[in-house]
Amino acid sequence: MNISKIKLENQKTASPDENLFQVSKKMGVSKSIIILDGKRPVGILTMRDIVTRALVKGKDPKTTLVKDIMTTPVFCAKEDDDIEKIAAFMLQKDYLTVPVVNKKEEYKGVLSLRQIIMYKKSKQK
């Protein structure tokens, strides 16, 4: 089975040229946000990135750009990737979520381990 069989989560996105203050407001209580250049994922920004790479170093959130502290490159799964292989990879890397792209490398949503588990459970019935 491939990833296209699972309904992906919509996660908030931001541009690499936005500042941390703007993106933090977008994130709200979310732990991360996908960074897109057009429709292509180029990074991920987590609350931990903001704290460890900006705030504790005294960087101003209103002038520090996302591209200066985001985690890049970001691993992306493809819609036609095998669910079992992606789940094994996520467990190995300790990823709870991964962005998913189509054949054109355009962002489609986020796949979580929770979604994979729920999908597998639904198929066991």
pLDDT of residue 116: 95
pTM equals: 0.90
Instruction: Find, among 74, 77, 76, the residue nearest to 4 by Cα.
Output: 77
Report CA 45 to chain centroid distance, whole Å. Answer: 8
Mean pLDDT, to the nearest integer, of 15-33? 95
Beta strands in the chain (DSSP E): 13-14, 32-37, 40-46, 77-78, 97-101, 107-112
pLDDT exceeds 70 at position 110: yes
